[in-house]
Amino acid sequence: MTVRIDPVRTASATCGPQYLPPTPPLADTFQWLEDVALLEMSHGYRVHGGLIGGDDFAQRLRAHHDQPVSRLARWIVEREVVAIDWRGAILLPAFQLSRGDDGIRPVVSGVLAELRGVFDDAELAQWFIRRNTWLGDARPLDLVEIDEDAIVGAARADRFVAGG
């Protein structure tokens, strides 16, 4: 089951308080919270290729697709990939690409088909790096190579919980 997470408390627990940016003046609080959330996602995805920019992601597709930028743009607009809009830049978790960099992993497509109607983009990005009760407290990201069916099943269960 996925729950709403306090990014400050979670980042502090997963990254350690020594890694948090200094607390800002009140006017910059939302920007600071975004910084903390990105730090947490960077930390969560780093073992599986990290977060990469849209240009780098498209470059990886170039060997297999004539129009990689157009294909990536379509995937982002149709929410067929996990994409993080970070102050005008697009960041994507690298693990989403299949082994040959020729497309999106089927497990990612399955999860997004289940969750994109009930989660926003940030929640989708965080879903893969959060421990999940349906997966025995494992992170979905850590099971991508092991049990795709269980991951999609956990996403389905979370959809029912989140959507009512």
List, for residues 29-74, the tens digit of each pLDDT value.
777 777 777 888 888 899 899 999 999 888 888 888 889 899 899 9
Question: How confident is the model over 69-83, as a mean pLDDT?
Answer: 92
- Average pLDDT, rounded, for the chain: 84
Which pTM value belongs to this model? 0.77
Which residues 6+ apart lie within 8 Å of 15 measured at CB? 39, 40, 43
Return the top range by mean pLDDT from 1-15, 53-67, 83-97, 135-149: 135-149
Residues belonging to the chain: 164
